[in-house]
Amino acid sequence: MTDYTFKSITEQAKAIENNQLSPVTLLEEFFQNIRNQHHSKTIYTEVFYKTALEEAKNSEKRQKSGLRKSLLDGVPINWKDLFDIKGKACEGGSLLLAGRIAKRDADVVVQAQNSGLVSLGKTHLSELAFSGLGVNPKTATPPNSSDDRIAPGGSSSGAAVATAFNLSSAGIGSDTGGSIRIPAAWNNLVGFKPNHGNISLNGVLKLCPSFDTAGPITRTVQDSHYLFQILKGEKPVDLPKCNLQGKIFLVDKSFLTKDLSPEVERSFEMYLEKIEKAGGKITTIKLLEIAKATSLASILFTYEAYDSWKELIEKNPGKMHNPILSRFRGGIDIEKKTYISSWVKLMTLREKFLHNIEGYDSVLAPTCPILPPIVNHLLDSEDYFTTCNLLSLRNTRIANLLGLTSITIPTEIKHCGLMLLAKPQNELNILRTAKLLEDLI
């Protein structure tokens, strides 16, 4: 009997559609994987054994009657624990929210239900989603799926690790500065950040409302496309085919490719060679707006993050891991006029950046300049934690700052993702291109 927990959503969905696989059987196989995985409790905050089984049984009834809600009807997914699911705990990876029970379903949860997806459970994350490392000593730190000594990436750590360990078909995470793409890269998965505002965040715990997005962490680009469509409330269909020949890519030499770890640099150069051999063209350029936008990050992100959570934080600051608390408190002395003037500068930079990338398919860059650091070293030194956290987010947060669409795909070297950055409202094209690049490996 085929074990479909190791397969992509695409393969699972088509097996269900062709009556080769039962949604109940698939779910029970995932349950068994979860029970056999000794790290499960540091990956999942809760597994919905009862309600997920009910959803799978209903999906199986629709399968037998030929009334499936969508191609993905019966596929089990996990949710980062900042998406509200009615009657379930939603604690945002923070002791400050311990015992919080959701009163309604988030809009994206409703969209998933409307398409017949099975909600398998909730997964751990960084405290209030404000770290790219995925290390959370206050609740739980999921292990990296390759080596439990190293960081899993965050903030959607559990969503990625559960997917990589075959404990769910995919994960739904959030991305404010890289929180989908970093854990995807460090666990050798695909992570897709849609354009800000294109997926509803009603019923999702906020961090930085001007930058927050939701999106999927999956095995393949096609899987991410399916889930993106469902989260938007659309019918999932296959990605249209396109050709790599004639596509022109940009590589920034001013910021995104500086100071890379040797493995990351080698991975990136290998991928560029494959692209050129396959008929793609590479142009190098210095995109100076990137560094200028980055200089505004400590004002814009920190102001919004502290504004979102300051009342709760200052009631019980001792419940937070100190490096995360310090990062939030960086917003205390930022005046609103400084925040507003920084936004004016950022909007000008966005306009200039989009002008400079006009006519190119996308910008290519390493997803992270560093490899996952060792967890114990991060916990031993606050300075090291802070340094690694900012490095982990260095490249990914450019997409959020400049209002771009972005995706990371695995490379031939573990933990080294290839990131694509493209202009806003360009999801279909970047997914099509990422699928082409994925096929090169």
> According to the 3-state scheme, what is the secondary structure of 92-145?
CCCHHHCCCECCCCCHHHHHHHHCCCEEEEEECCCHHHCCCCCCCCCCCCCCCC
pLDDT confidence tier of residue 334, bands split at 50, 70 and 90:
very high
367: domain CATH number is 3.90.1300.10
Q: Is residue 313 part of a domain?
A: no
Q: Are residues 391 and 341 in the same domain?
A: yes
For 387-410, how does the pLDDT look when each residue is reduced to its tens digit (9 = 90+)? Answer: 999 999 999 999 999 999 999 999
The set of residues, in sequence order, having a beta carbon less than 8 Å from that of 301 and lying 6+ positions away, is: 176, 177, 208, 211, 397
Q: Are residues 52 and 115 in the same domain?
A: yes
For 28-38, how does the pLDDT look when each residue is reduced to its tens digit (9 = 90+)? Answer: 999 999 999 99
Supply the pLDDT for residue 42. 98
Q: Are residues 94 and 182 in the same domain?
A: yes
Task: Point out which residues pair with 287 in neighbouring strands.
Answer: none
pLDDT confidence tier of residue 441, bands split at 50, 70 and 90:
confident
Q: Is residue 334 part of a domain?
A: yes
Q: What is the mean pLDDT of residues 87-109?
A: 98
Q: Is residue 222 part of a domain?
A: yes
Q: Is residue 257 part of a domain?
A: yes
Q: State the sign of the Cα–Cα–Cα–Cα dihedral 259, 260, 265, 269.
A: negative
Structure tokens at 429: 């094209």
Q: Are residues 262 and 159 in the same domain?
A: no
Supply the pLDDT for residue 305. 98
Supply the pLDDT for residue 272. 98
Supply the pLDDT for residue 316. 98
Q: Are residues 220 and 289 in the same domain?
A: no
Other CB atoms within 10 Å distance of the CB of residue 256: 23
Q: Are residues 196 and 263 in the same domain?
A: no
Q: What is the mean pLDDT of residues 82-97?
A: 98
- Of 187, 207, 232, the position where a domain reaches its end is 232
Q: Are residues 167 and 273 in the same domain?
A: no
For 269-302, how does the pLDDT look when each residue is reduced to its tens digit (9 = 90+)? Answer: 999 999 999 999 999 999 999 999 999 999 999 9
Question: 203 — phi, psi (to 5°)?
Answer: 85, 15
For 169-178, how does the pLDDT look when each residue is reduced to its tens digit (9 = 90+)? Answer: 999 999 999 9
Q: Is residue 242 part of a domain?
A: no
Q: What is the mean pLDDT of residues 423-430?
A: 95
pLDDT confidence tier of residue 242, bands split at 50, 70 and 90:
confident
Q: Which residues are identified as catalytic?
A: 80, 155, 179
Q: Are residues 156 and 37 in the same domain?
A: yes
Q: Is residue 310 part of a domain?
A: no
Domain count for the chain: 2
Q: Are residues 154 and 208 in the same domain?
A: yes
- Of 207, 232, 257, the position where a domain reaches its end is 232
Q: Is residue 328 part of a domain?
A: yes
Supply the pLDDT for residue 241. 86
Burial 215-232 (b: 16+ CB within 10 A, else e): bbbbbbbbbbbbbbbbbe
- Of 232, 258, 280, the position where a domain reaches its end is 232
pLDDT of 1 above 80: no
Supply the pLDDT for residue 140. 98
The set of residues, in sequence order, having a beta carbon less than 8 Å from that of 147 and lying 6+ positions away, is: 372
Q: Which domain holds residue 224?
A: 4-232
